[in-house]
Amino acid sequence: MARDVYKGFNFLVEIDGITQAGFQEASGLDSTVAMIEYREGTDPNRTRKLAGLNSFSAISLKRGITDSTDLYQWHLNTVNGPNPDRRNGSIVLLDETGVEKIRWNFTQAWPSKWTGPSFNSTSNSVGIESLEIQHEDLKRA
């Protein structure tokens, strides 16, 4: 049975009530399980490999700068508050007709870095802002 392959350009981002489309890039959808080597004294001359802590890379979002300040305001809430403004969110892959096909849900997320656009008077490229998000869990739904 053949399966459809989805193109990576049709996606949107949802973060606790904020839905944003038009991102140029979303990356960092990965997880790693640390490996722990262990050897008991009675084991042969080799180590066992045990699963350790799970970790998740930061999610990086890049888009052309717009009038919307929702994501920047979320970052400011974290900068100005005593604790990070944690939210849950999703990156949603759509098919060519706009129907949701795959969703990656992340939890306990907060923006750790916001970068504004670079300006150059000799260029006609779109100004890009980026947001880096730390999170504690990532699941494909």
Tell me what pLDDT residue 35 has.
97
Tell me what pLDDT residue 43 has.
78
Residues 6+ apart with CB under 8 A from 67: none
**CA–CA distance, 100 with 98 (Å, rounded to integer):** 6
> If you search the block for the tokens 């045990």, which residue do you land on?
50
Residue pair 70/20 in contact (Cβ under 8 Å)? The answer is: yes
* Residue from 67, 72, 70 nearest 132 by CA: 72
Domain residue spans of the chain: 11-27+62-140
Tell me what pLDDT residue 87 has.
96
Which of helix, strand or coil describes residue 86?
A: coil
Mean pLDDT by 10 residues, the chain (141 residues): 82 86 90 94 86 97 91 93 94 93 97 94 93 97 91
Residue pair 48/39 in contact (Cβ under 8 Å)? The answer is: yes
**CA–CA distance, 57 with 136 (Å, rounded to integer):** 9
Give 104's Cβ-side CA count (13 Å radius): 16
Burial class (CB in 10 A: 0-12, 13-18, 19+), 86: middle
Tell me what pLDDT residue 1 has.
66
Q: What is the pTM of this model?
A: 0.87
Tell me what pLDDT residue 138 has.
98
Tell me what pLDDT residue 26 has.
95
